[in-house]
Amino acid sequence: MVPIVSIIIPVYNKASYIRETLQSALGQAYPNTEIILVDDGSSDGSFEILQEYFEKYPEKILLIDQENQGVSAATNNGIQAAKGEYIQFLDADDLLSPYKIANQIKLLEGQPESVLATCEWRMFKNDPKQSYSIPYGVFQDFGSGLDLLLRFWNNQEMMQPAVYLTHRKLIDKAGPWDETLTINQDGEFFARVLGNADKVCYEPIGKVFYRTPGETNVSQQKSEKATKSLLDSYRCYERELLKFEDSERVRIALKKVYQKFIYDVFPHYPHLIKEAEACIKKLGISQKTYIMGPKFQKLSRIFGFKNALRIKRWLPPRSPLRGK
């Protein structure tokens, strides 16, 4: 029997993009999908667009209308309503290539439920044909989900959450999205998923197209509330992943996570920086660790991490790189 794949799309005020996203979900070559749309109290006409598609494809689409509760609550409601053996998460402004799900289902045939699939993600602004890739080392197989997490943390890399195709039982084992977080909800959730994953299979053909966030989104992510939530999500990493493996390699990687937090926040919110420093001390890793690019690492080796941050603050900004 061909397994059902549930494509869960939480939507909040994405009227400008949701049609394109829905077309990419409806255009999947894999035949046995359901699309679960969860409108999180949109006020920009998004719900009316979702209703239009629901009426046009009632056999394919389930529409849930809820008061604004946040992306985690919307996603959890989508998971609860899903009938699929596999779950595909998709943000309301991102896109899937047509064979993404089909290729990953084929890759997972015969694999246990604890194995999940990934693919490449590419960034774009308006036209996915003009997308570009980030030269990360995550686009490969990994012997375990924890190995992929350590790659993230040791090298300051990431996966866009839509790259994953995950068995429902693996998601149930990880638990729901954390509704107390306001940022990095997906990173915290997939840290738990990957902690439970025995293997990660990379599918090289399928693609996820990740729309670059607008200025409003970026500014919201820099608020004190969001910054505290980010640190809370990193504490969740530590709490959950040390359950799977309390080892020096995991603690070193977690130390780098907290260093990256300080790197991103400095010199703002000194009380949160002090909390992150306390988390580093508690990890008990005396080994020197270095993050970011070669130039900053060189400064850190010569002057120390905090002094390198101070020097970086006063250096003239570099020309921005694509995708950075």
The length of the chain, given as a count of residues: 324
The angle formed by the CA atoms of residues 120, 125 and 225, to the nearest 5 degrees, is 90
Distance of CA 191 to the CA centre of its chain: 9
Q: Domain count of the chain?
A: 2
CA distances from 301 to 238, 296, 308, 309 (A): 26, 9, 9, 12
Find all residues with CB under 8 Å of 319, minimum gap 6, and list them: none
The DSSP string of 58-111 is TTTEEEEEE-S--HHHHHHHHHHH---SEEEE--TT-EE-TTHHHHHHHHHTT-
* 225 and 207 both lie in a single domain: no
* 27 and 132 both lie in a single domain: yes
pLDDT confidence of residue 220: 52
pLDDT confidence of residue 213: 78
- Please tell me whether the overall predicted TM-score, pTM, comes out greater than 0.85 for this model: yes
The DSSP string of 184-240 is SHHHHHHHHHHHT-SEEEEEEEEEEEEEPPPHHHHHHHTSHHHHHHHHHHHHHHHHH
* 170 and 287 both lie in a single domain: no
pLDDT confidence of residue 101: 98
Give the C-alpha separation, 107 to 101, whole Å: 10
216 phi, psi to nearest 5 deg: -65, -45
pLDDT confidence of residue 274: 97
Query: Domain for residue 9, yes or no?
Result: yes
* 80 and 111 both lie in a single domain: yes
CB-based contact 144:196 (threshold 8 Å): no
Domain coverage including residue 228: 221-314
CATH number at residue 172: 3.90.550.10
Residue 222 pairs in a beta bridge with none
pLDDT confidence of residue 184: 95
Stretches in the chain below the pLDDT threshold 50: 215-216, 218-219, 319-324
Give the C-alpha separation, 302 to 231, whole Å: 27
Q: Which amino acid type is present at position 100?
A: K
Six token digits for residue 319: 């020309």
Query: Domain for residue 319, yes or no?
Result: no
Distance of CA 210 to the CA centre of its chain: 11
Query: Domain for residue 249, yes or no?
Result: yes
C-alpha dihedral (63, 213, 175, 25), degrees to nearest 10? 40
